[in-house]
Chain A
Amino acid sequence: MKIIAIIPAFNEESRIAAAVRDASSFVDGVVVVDDCSRDNTANAARMAGALVLRHAINRGQGAALQTATEFALRRLGAEIVVHFDADGQMQGSDIPAMVEPIRSGAADVVLGSRFLGKAVDMPASRRIVNRLAQWFTVAISGIRLTDTHCGFRALSRRAAQEMTITLDRMAHASQIQDLVVVKKLRYVERPVTIVYSAETLAKSESSMRAFGIVKDILKDKFFTRV
């Protein structure tokens, strides 16, 4: 089966090449969406062998995933789409186990879980936020997962076609869980290893982003045309 890894990237010049190479050895193609980075992310990704799409304006991680998904499905004929991060926190070597349930036909969606696997050097504050997010997810989607907002996923072609991400920023992770339930897709969780380093912790704006996610979800529920 043709496996395409898709990597949203924003200012990841120094990390993207390693991530692309790491994923490449386990998939048939890597698509990077450079989300209007201010550094040389696009070139670094291209040099490492990725197909690079570029957003002319920064639209967020969710938007980039949707762009890459449409490209992978329509232009590359992807049969399995793997969501992967640009910052080196995920391990390419986890990919075979992630796609296995789709290969065997056991599931349409495979969700990575760092709590079934390993969360190396994950700060306690993030663990707490993730626990709260878990309850929030049960409340709004009715799906009980060991790890919410883990960006490591594998989707069958059908699942990728059925789930359209419209939440452009970080809340897309909640929307994906929502859609799994709404579209009645068969899902399983699989252990993955996520490694935290001083570098990756420094770049993201801390646990405060949880508020932004909740805001985006509520906005989506209240302020969109039915």
Chain B
Amino acid sequence: MIFQIILVAFALFAVTRTVKQFRAQKVSLHWFLLWNGLWAVVIGVTLWPTSADFVAHLVGIGRGADLALYVTAVALSYSVFRLFVRQEETQREITKLVRKMAIADAEEPK
């Protein structure tokens, strides 16, 4: 019960933020509908957990809650992978920059 309240509260927070952004003309109507629609689904599934079972069955998973967990795990793994790649690239760019500076600042060889 507590968990459901927290999740719904979080979803409502996301919705109010988007409403504010929309009022301030920072996001398009398109985004407003899409993003709030997504959170509406989150609220729906949170309050009626069995409603997601139908989708889970479609992909061969027993419960909607499990499906949500699996999707989250995959999405998180992928984000971590992307982050590693980005981080490695950033490191290499820093090295290139440091190298460039070192060579540019070198004393003239005699």
- Residues of A with Cβ closer than 8 Å to B? 29, 33, 51-57, 59, 63, 66-67, 70-71, 74-76, 166, 168, 219-220, 222-225
Contacts and interface: CB of A to CB of B under 8 A. Distances in A.
Given A63-B95, A76-B109, A54 B102 contact: yes
Interface stretch (B32-40, B52-60, B69-77, B85-93): B85-93
22 contacts: A51-B106, A51-B109, A53-B103, A53-B105, A54-B102, A54-B105, A56-B101, A57-B94, A59-B94, A59-B95, A67-B98, A71-B102, A75-B106, A75-B109, A166-B92, A168-B91, A168-B92, A219-B84, A223-B85, A223-B88, A224-B88, A224-B89
Nearest to A225: B85
B94 A71 contact: no
Nearest to A62: B95
A61 to B, nearest CB: 12
Classify the secondary structure of B's interface with A.
helix
Contact of A56 (B84, B89, B92, B98): B98
A223 B102 contact: no
Contacts of A33: 102
Interface residues of B, number: 19
A52 B103 CA distance: 10
A63 B92 CA distance: 9
Contacts of A59: 94-95, 98-99
A53 B106 contact: yes
Contacts of B99: 55, 59, 63, 66-67, 70
A25 B6 CA distance: 73
Contacts of A225: 85, 89
Contacts of B102: 33, 53-56, 67, 71
B78 interface: no
Interface centre among B84, B91, B98, B101 (most CB of A within 10 A): B98
Contacts of A55: 98-99, 102
Given A63-B99, A66-B99, A70-B99, A223 B84 contact: yes
List 7 A-B pairs, minimum CB-CB distance, nearest first: A223-B84, A53-B102, A67-B99, A63-B95, A59-B95, A223-B85, A55-B98
